[in-house]
Structure 1
Amino acid sequence: MDRKQLIQQTLGTIWESIEHLKSEQERIVVEISEKSQLLDQWQRELNGLEKGKGKSSHERLPKGEPLRRINALYENDPRAQHDGLTIKEIEKRSGIGWTTVRNVVHGEKNGFADIGGSRWRRTSDIDKEKKRGPLKAVS
């Protein structure tokens, strides 16, 4: 085997390795997202039980908490970062009331943009994508 063939074989092996790692990375990102959603659900369940101790079920969240929770949804979900979420999806996954979610994403200072189709993305995710180019859609 001459040097050129050896280099070509090495390049092929490296490309295969990179593709394998990319597919593993996508699987891991999806798994992290699923685990994070599960964690959020259990945390809401626990919070609901703790709130049930003599407190009203309509107690307001502390200032800034809805924005923190919504940002956490996006942080833990690459699909949301890429494709955005509807207000209804955010409500369902965060446990925050629809009107509160609407007020958060509509707030200019909160960093969300309507990308059409009633979907909302964080402006920071849009800016990152512009700098590095579009991400491959996560399936």
Structure 2
Amino acid sequence: MVEQVLRTVFENAAAPQRAVLIVLTMSLPAIVAAAVMASRAGGQTGPCGRLICDLRILGPALGLLVGAMNSFHMARTIQSLPFHPTARQLAPGILEVSTLIGLGAGVGLLAAAAHLALGWTPARTDSPSDAR
């Protein structure tokens, strides 16, 4: 059921929103792969660690920004309609905004979890083994 709803959201999204959905969705396996590669490198940050650190902020920020732009555009469209749309008519737009915000939050949470799992602290992104 959820997969069908998400597929419908993706199919009905405009090209820019679809691109953001793709970027956020592909960020999830990229975080896992980067965490595995960083752990194999002994916890060194390098480019994998940089990706994980950046996605902690950029994933949620991108989801919120695009979701807010969608909400703004949807509200302006509703205001200009000569009739009062029903909740059923508004549901696809609300689902798209929810998906963008939720997916962005998921990217940020997964990146934060990977960051913590690798033993990096928020104040220091070098590996614990570098402190020796």
Q: TM-score range by the shorter chain?
A: 0.3 to 0.5
Which protein, 1 or 2, shows the higher relative CO under an 8 Å CA cutoff with sep ≥ 6? 2
Kindly name which structure, 1 or 2, has the bigger radius of gyration based on alpha carbons. 1
Structure number with higher strand proportion:
1
- TM-score norm. by structure 2 comes to 0.38
- TM-score norm. by structure 1 comes to 0.37
